[in-house]
Amino acid sequence: MRTVIVITLVGAVALGAAALGGCQSESDEVQPQRPDESAVTDLVARLGNRSIGASEVQNRMVAEGVDAKAALEQLIDEALLVQEAERIGFTENREDQRSLERLMVRTMLRDLEKENTPEAISEEEVRATYALHADKFEDPERRRSWQILVEDQSEGAEALAKSILAELHRADDPRAVYERYANGGPDSSGLEVKAEDLPAISEKASIKKPYKKALFAANAEGPLDEVVKTSYGWHAIVLAEILPGQARTLDDAENEIRTLLSEQKRIGKLITIVQGLEAQGLVHYEERGVERLLTVPALPERAK
Per-residue pLDDT band at 96 (split at 50, 70, 90): low
CATH code for residues 140-244: 3.10.50.40
pLDDT of residue 251: 87
Q: In 3-state terms, what secondary structure has residue 175?
A: helix
- Cβ–Cβ < 8 Å for 229, 214: no
pLDDT of residue 67: 81
CA distance 73 to 270: 8
Report angle CA 274, 276, 281 to the nearest 5 degrees: 95
Query: Which sign, positive or negative, has the C-alpha torsion 124, 126, 127, 129?
Result: positive
- Cβ–Cβ < 8 Å for 262, 120: yes
Query: Does residue 2 surpass a pLDDT of 90?
Result: no
Phi-psi region of 92 (alpha: psi -120 to 50; beta: other; left: phi over 0): beta
Nearest CA to 9 among 107, 93, 98, 87?
107
Strand pairing partners for 145?
Answer: 198, 239
Strand pairing partners for 46?
Answer: 51, 284
pLDDT of residue 225: 96
Q: Which residues contact 181 (CB under 8 A, 6 or more apart)?
A: 148, 164, 187, 193, 194, 195
Q: Which residues contact 270 (CB under 8 A, 6 or more apart)?
A: 73, 112
CA distance 201 to 281: 52
**Residue 195, amino acid:** A
**Which is more confidently placed, 204 or 10?**
204
pLDDT of residue 75: 85
Report angle CA 268, 57, 102 to the nearest 5 degrees: 70
CA distance 7 to 23: 20
Alpha helical stretches, state H, 46-93: 54-64, 68-87
Q: Where are the domains of the chain?
A: 2-120+259-294, 140-244
Q: How distant is the alpha carbon of residue 98 from its chain centre?
A: 28
Where is mean pLDDT largest: 26-35, 75-84, 213-222? 213-222
**Which is more confidently placed, 89 or 170?**
170
Kind and range of the H or E run holding 196:
strand 193-201
Where is mean pLDDT largest: 110-124, 205-219, 260-274? 205-219
Query: Which sign, positive or negative, has the C-alpha torsion 258, 263, 268, 270?
Result: positive
pLDDT in tens, 119-178: 888 899 998 988 888 778 888 899 999 999 999 999 999 999 999 999 999 999 999 999
pLDDT of residue 296: 54
Where is mean pLDDT largest: 45-49, 65-69, 78-82, 265-269? 65-69
pLDDT in tens, 232-281: 999 999 999 999 988 888 888 888 888 888 878 877 776 676 667 667 66
CA distance 101 to 220: 61
Query: How much is the CA Rg of the chain, to the nearest whole Å?
Result: 30
**Which is more confidently placed, 188 or 100?**
188
Query: Does residue 43 surpass a pLDDT of 70?
Result: yes
- Cβ–Cβ < 8 Å for 187, 149: no
pLDDT of residue 48: 73
Where is mean pLDDT largest: 63-67, 177-181, 295-299? 177-181
**Which is more confidently placed, 18 or 147?**
147
